[in-house]
Amino acid sequence: MNNLKTLLKREFLLAFSNFSSIFTYFSFFLLALLIFIFSLGSEVEKLQTLHQPIVWVIFLFSLILISEHFVLEDFADGSLRELQFLGYSGELIFYTKSIVMLIVVMIPNLFLIPISSVFFKIEFINIVDLSITIILAAPTLVLISLLSAFFSVQIKKNRFFQFIIIIPFFIPIIIFATSPYEKYGLFDFEQKFFILFGLFLITLPLSLILGKLSIKEINN
């Protein structure tokens, strides 16, 4: 328990000391949003129809963009090797990085999703629905993004290769997260919650195991 607290404190200090991760996420989200708005024009109906897909696309690319921030710095300065030398397990390192990355991702979303709804003139109930769905799907997506960042560092490939790795694993989550409730009859919010939570429970142990192996390979 003490190891968990120590690592969480370390990751929080690194993440919030220079705000680079939050600023990168925030600026990329806004820039991509403005590009979509200017390219689509001022047709309100078209903008409202495309709001949810656009937000999801930007959200996914933003995850890929900042996930390397939580891996590259520790890899470059030897901190990953030092942490394992001090007795911290690979699972614990991966777990704490996932928690902090999730918080770093969700803080900007509390502001960015309402801001995006202003541009697209979205009703409040739809904003709430999109926000809750992203919150439910975010833990699983963060685990997958962080794991792909470790893989890309391990095999010394760029973000394009990371993108190729990550997209197939994003697809099932996105399908259930973006499916309209009425499409499946009895597919309501409660069922969506349990499906996304079930995907998280499947992803969590697999990510911890693969994350541990990846960290071990990186340090060898």
Which is more confident, 173 or 21?
173
Number of domains in the chain: 1
Q: Which tens digit of pLDDT belongs to each residue from 73-104?
A: 777 777 888 888 888 888 898 999 999 999 98
Concatenated DSSP letters of the chain: -HHHHHHHHHHHHHHHHS-HHHHHHHHHHHHHHHHHHHHH-S-HHHHHHHHHHHHHHHHHHHHHHHHTHHHHHHHHTTHHHHHHHTT--HHHHHHHHHHHHHHHHHHHHHHHHHHHHHHHT--HHHHHHHHHHHHHHHHHHHHHHHHHHHHHHHTT--HHHHHHHHHHHHHHHHHHHH--GGGGSS--HHHHHHHHHHHHHHHHHHHHHHHHHHHHHHH-
Q: What is the rounded distance in angstroms from the CA atom of residue 105 to the CA atom of residue 62?
A: 9
Predicted structure pTM score: 0.87
Highest mean pLDDT among 17-21, 46-50, 169-173: 169-173
Range of the domain at 52: 2-219
